[in-house]
Amino acid sequence: MAGENDLKLEALSKYIVTTPSWAKSTALILLLCGCVEIMAMLGSHHSLTHPSLFPVFAYLLPALAALALTPALAGLFGGKLTYGWSGLTAAIGLVISLFVSLSPVLFFTSSFPVFFAASLAFVFAFRMLLLAAVVDFHLRRVVVPALIHSGIAVIGAAPFLGLPFVQLSVLLHISFAAGVLVFIIVVERPMKANFRVGPLELANAFLAHLSEGSHKLDEFFRSIGESVVVPQVSLALQREGKEEILVTVPNVHPGPLGEIGGSNLPKILHGILGSGSMVFHGAASHDFNPVDEEEVKKLGAEVLATLPRTCTNNGCTVPVRHRFGSVDVLVQAFGDTVIAAATRSPEVTEDLEFAVGFAIIKSGEKYFHNVGFIDAHNCMDALSDGVYPGTELAMEYMNAAETAFAAASREPQAAFSAGYAARTFPFTRQDGFGDLGVQVLVIETRGRSTAYVLVDGNNMQTGGRDEIRKRLHSLVDECEVMTTDTHVVNTVSGRNQVGLKVPVDSFYPVIEEAVRAARDDVAPARSAGVTHYCHGIVVFGSQRISQLASTVNGMMGFLLPIAIIVILGAFLTTAMAYYLLVY
| Maximum Cα interatomic distance, the chain, rounded to a whole number of Å | 102
CA dihedral sign of residues 121, 122, 128, 131: negative
Helix (H, G, I), strand (E, B), or coil: what is residue 448? Answer: strand
Taking residues 92-109, report their average pLDDT.
81
240-269 pLDDT, tens per residue? Answer: 889 999 999 999 999 887 778 888 999 999
State the pLDDT at residue 48: 44
Q: Give the neighbor-by-neighbor strand order of the sheet with 320-324.
A: 320-324, 327-334, 337-343, 370-375
Residue of 433, 424, 493 lying closest to 464 (CA atoms):
433
In angstroms, rounded to a whole number, what is the distance separating the alpha carbons of residues 173 and 251? 54
Of 108-112, 180-184, 577-581, give the lowest mean pLDDT range: 577-581
**For strand 416-423 and strand 370-375, is the pairing parallel, antiparallel, or unpaired?**
unpaired
Which residue type, as a one-letter code, is found at position 254? P
Other Cβ atoms less than 10 A from the Cβ of 162: the count is 12
Q: Which uninterrupted H or E stretch holds 309? A: none
Report, as an integer, the average pLDDT of 462-483.
97
CA dist list (Å): 39 to 27, 44, 48, 101, 102: 19, 9, 13, 14, 11
What pLDDT digit, counting tens, does each position of 367-408 carry? 999 999 999 999 998 777 788 899 999 999 999 999 999 999
In this model, does residue 105 exceed pLDDT 90? no
Band (154; pLDDT cuts 50, 70, 90): very high
Let me know: does 344 contact 379? Beta carbons within 8 Å: yes
Q: What is the pLDDT of residue 394?
A: 95
- Residue 47: per-residue pLDDT: 45
**pLDDT tens-digit readout, 345-375:** 999 988 999 999 999 999 999 999 999 999 9
User: How many C-alpha atoms does 101 have within 13 Å on its Cβ side?
Assistant: 26
pLDDT given at position 179:
85
pLDDT for res 493: 60
Q: What is the mean pLDDT of residues 467-475?
A: 97
pLDDT band at 581 (very low <50, low <70, confident <90, very high): low
pLDDT of residue 200: 72
* CA gap 415, 417 in Å, rounded: 7
pLDDT of residue 209: 60
Mode of pairing for the β-strands spanning 438-445 and 416-423: antiparallel
Q: For residue 536, what are the β-bridge partners?
A: none
- Tell me the β-bridge partners of 452: 441, 480
Segment 415-435 shows an average pLDDT of 96
Sequence-distant (≥ 6) Cβ neighbours of residue 18 within 8 angstroms: none
Residue 193 has pLDDT above 90, yes or no: no
Q: What's the mean pLDDT in 276-291?
A: 93
Question: Whole-model pTM?
Answer: 0.78
CB 336 within 8 A of CB 359: no
pLDDT value of residue 46: 41
Q: What is the dihedral of CA 275, 280, 286, 291, to 10 degrees?
A: -30
Are the beta carbons of 449 and 519 closer than 8 angstroms?
A: yes
**Residue-wise pLDDT tens digits, 59-92:** 999 999 999 999 999 989 888 888 988 999 999 9
Residue 151 DSSP SS3: helix
Q: How far apart are CA 69 and CA 148, in angstroms?
A: 8
pLDDT of residue 1: 43
pLDDT at 16 over 60: no
Res 494: pLDDT: 61
Beta bridge partners of 533: 231
* Mean pLDDT for all residues in the chain: 86
Pick the more confident residue, 533 or 225: 533
- Residue 374 neighbours by CB under 8 Å, 6+ apart: 249, 280, 281, 282, 339, 340, 341, 342, 482
Closest CA relative to residue 84, chosen from 37, 134, 155: 134
E strand intervals along 283-437: 320-324, 327-334, 337-343, 370-375, 416-423
Q: 372 with 408: CB under 8 angstroms?
A: no
- pLDDT band, residue 107 (cuts 50/70/90): low
CB half-sphere exposure, 473, CA atoms < 13 A: 5
Q: Judge contact between 385 and 350, C-beta under 8 A.
A: yes
Give the rounded percent of residues in the chain with a pLDDT score beyond 90.
Answer: 58
pLDDT band at 561 (very low <50, low <70, confident <90, very high): low
List alpha helices for 43-82, DSSP H.
54-55, 61-76
CB 548 within 8 A of CB 355: no
